[in-house]
Amino acid sequence: MQIAILALQGAFQEHGAALDALDASHFEIRQRKDLDRPFDGLILPGGESTVMRKLLLDLELFHPLKVRIQEGLPVFGTCAGLILLARDVEGGASCFGTMPIVARRNAYGRQLGSFHTKGEFGTYGTIPMTFIRAPYISDSDQGVEILSTVNGKAVAAQFQNQLVTAFHPELTKDCTVHAHFLQLVSNTLPQKAAC
């Protein structure tokens, strides 16, 4: 299993460290030729979503990545990554638009509105959550599973092979969310028959 991490800005190195803790192979995507390497899953880190969208287009990464996501490539977006995947964005433009959710940008205010809390994640129990200029999911279509809510707002969700969090699990020592993503990736790989 090989995971690609979009490394245009944001906490891509911290995502790599989380994957290292789980012994998962990974590499960074910085330019078009990096897409020539095979990969089974993709992480879209936090950052500034409008800047990331512009860089994806300028570096000719947008179209080939969108096609792969539409074809079922497992993808995990944190914070700005959630915004990039959202079909609709309140107060901004959509990018990939492959996940049937509505994202509200900067829902918790500016940098000073950043905070840490703990919350439930799916069936895994309570995990630490770090929010930095975070969005939340204001609406979602049928088929989207909400995995976490904080103060009544949806902050993590899954739709088919797409996983998003408004918070930054890569900035904590808890690898629950990354492990969940790796299981999602594993479930899409061809299973080898036992002899």
Active-site positions read 79, 168, 170
- Amino acid identity at 154: A
Q: Which residue has the tokens 């509200």?
A: 104
Measure the CA–CA gap between 182 and 40, rounded to whole angstroms. Answer: 10
Burial 90-126 (b: 16+ CB within 10 A, else e): bebebbbbbbbbbbbbbbbeeeeeeeeeebebeeeee
